[in-house]
Each structure stands twice: as C-alpha cells, then as structure tokens.
C-alpha cells in the first residue's frame, strides 16, 4: 500500500507529468467548442459525486450510466481536436521517425510508377499538395482516397482508363483524386514548346505551392514544375530529390 504521507521522487515526477499534460490540453482547447463540452462533462462528474454523497439512488444510477460511456463520448466529441493535436505532434523532429518510413515508401512507389510510365511512354500528370489546399481542383475530378502505390498510379494513366486524362492529385501518402482539371499557364513562350499537359503542370505550380510531375507521351521524358518553373529531362535521381522536398517539413 502506498504511503501518501511519504512521497518519493517518482511521485513528484508522476504528478508533474500529469500537471503538464493537463495544462497543455487546456491550453490547446482554449477558445474552442471543446472547452464548453469539457465543462459539461465535468459538471456531470461533480453531480455524480454529490449524488453519491447524499445517497440519491435514482440520480446516481443515471449519472453512473453516463460516466460509463464517458471515455467513448470524449473520443467522439473531441475527434477534430485530437486529430489536429496528432498532426501537430507529427511536425516535431522527435517524432518524425515514426512517419519517415511511410514517406520513404510513398516516394519509392511514385518513382517506380514514373519510371514505368517513362519506359512505356504513358503520358501522365501528378500533382503533390503542399501547404496550399487543392480542394477546388480535387472537386473537378474523381475522388479516390487510396494509398499510394506504383501499380495504382500506372493503371490510372494507362489508356483506355477513364481517368487517364487530367491530373492525379496526391496528399501525403494518399491518391486523393484523378482526372482533375488544372489551370493552364498563359505564358506565350510555353505554347511554343509544350503541350496542354505541361502547360497545366506549370499552371498549377504558378498559382499554388504544389509540385507537379509530368511524363511526356511523345518522348517519355520527365519534367517537374515547381515555384512557377518547369524543369525538363530529369533523371530518376533528380526526380527523387524533388519528391523528397515535397515530404520534407520545416521545423516549427
């Protein structure tokens, strides 16, 4: 049995960790609807204690039933906040190793797909979402929400697939949508050198911070659009370098 009158160093560490977690949690939900929900749950807990103290059987039964599903209700009600918190945690270097393998796998699968499409001269346009949300362009295509894989990407762009025209938009390790319509670059010099697919690749990286990858169906060459510029005739090693920039995160 633990003697609460003789706390040890471990006890102080335990209390300190809990206090920090509680503080960070309260600071995180401050100013959100989650704070109001938390206050309501605390009121239920206090009423339950009072009901037990005054031996109110009926009220205790009702409140005890609510307390039984408290954890489930907490997870459901705070789902957006929990998701945002986990997303923030993933940005820190100390936790990057947990998702590094997933990112490396995505890059590997994309490079395999591009290499295969280059060999077969399959025209394709892949767009990588970064900080600027590409939701308006996702809505112009067919929603997929599928895990990135080389066979999936190649099959999407291989005629006569109904989704081979247009762009394929990727978000982290997911293929969000295919056959998406992108803004086309209006630069006069672009029309003299490139077709519609390359002009779209240049257009999307001119109006957003997205990175686009194009495979020419005529030459099988690879081009990358980034920051309003188009880099052509790239080797697979160079493509890998650009893709790693897509998944690289600035320290925050």
Along the 252 residues of the chain, how does pLDDT read in single tens digits? Answer: 445 567 777 878 888 888 888 777 766 666 555 666 667 777 777 887 787 788 777 777 777 676 666 666 666 666 655 655 555 554 444 445 444 555 678 888 999 999 999 999 999 999 999 888 899 999 999 999 899 999 999 999 999 989 999 999 998 889 999 999 999 887 766 666 788 899 999 999 988 989 999 999 999 999 999 888 888 889 998 898 888 877 664 333
Q: What is the DSSP letter of 184?
A: P
- Dihedral in degrees, nearest 10, Cα atoms 172, 176, 179, 184: -50
Q: Residue 116 has what pLDDT?
A: 95
pLDDT value at position 176? Answer: 94
d(CA 21, CA 24): 5
Helix, strand, or coil (residue 107)? helix
What is the pTM (predicted TM-score) of this model?
0.59
Boundaries of every domain in the chain: 9-89, 98-247
Burial, 142: exposed, middle or buried (Cβ in 10 Å; 0-12, 13-18, 19+)? middle
CATH architecture of residue range(s) 98-247: 3-Layer(aba) Sandwich (3.40)
CA dist 9 → 13, 17, 19, 173 (Å) = 6, 12, 15, 44
Instruction: Map residue 16 onto helix, strand or coil.
Output: helix
Q: Which strand (E) or helix (H) includes residue 230?
A: strand 229-231
Is 192:151 a contact under the CB 8 Å cutoff? Answer: no
Strand-pairing partners, residue 174, are 147, 171
C-alpha pair distances (Å), 147 with each of 8, 111, 119, 131? 49, 15, 23, 20
Place of tokens 């990358």: 224
């Amino acid at each position: 049995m633990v003697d609460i009158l003789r706390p040890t160093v471990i006890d102080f560490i335990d209390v300190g960790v809990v206090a920090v977690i509680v503080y960070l949690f309260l600071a995180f939900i401050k100013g959100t609807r989650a704070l109001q929900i938390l206050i309501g749950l605390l009121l239920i807990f206090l009423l339950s204690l009072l009901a037990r103290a005054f031996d109110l059987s009926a009220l205790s039964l009702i409140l005890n039933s609510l307390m039984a599903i408290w954890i489930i209700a907490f997870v459901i009600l705070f789902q957006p906040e929990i998701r945002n918190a986990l997303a923030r945690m993933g940005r820190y270097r100390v936790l990057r190793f947990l998702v590094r393998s997933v990112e490396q796998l995505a890059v590997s699968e994309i490079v395999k797909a591009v290499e295969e499409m280059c060999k077969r001269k399959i025209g394709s346009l892949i767009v990588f979402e970064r900080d600027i949300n590409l939701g308006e362009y996702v809505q112009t295509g067919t929603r997929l929400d599928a895990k990135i894989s080389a066979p999936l990407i190649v099959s999407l762009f291989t005629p006569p697939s109904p989704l081979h025209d247009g762009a394929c938009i990727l978000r982290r390790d997911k293929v969000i949508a295919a056959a998406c319509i992108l803004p086309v670059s209006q630069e006069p010099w672009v029309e003299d050198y490139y077709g519609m697919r390359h002009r779209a690749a240049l257009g999307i990286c001119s109006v957003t911070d997205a990175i686009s990858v194009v495979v020419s169906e005529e030459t099988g060459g690879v081009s990358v659009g980034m920051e309003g510029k188009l880099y052509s005739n790239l080797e697979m090693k160079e493509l890998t370098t650009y893709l790693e920039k897509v998944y690289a995160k600035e320290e925050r």
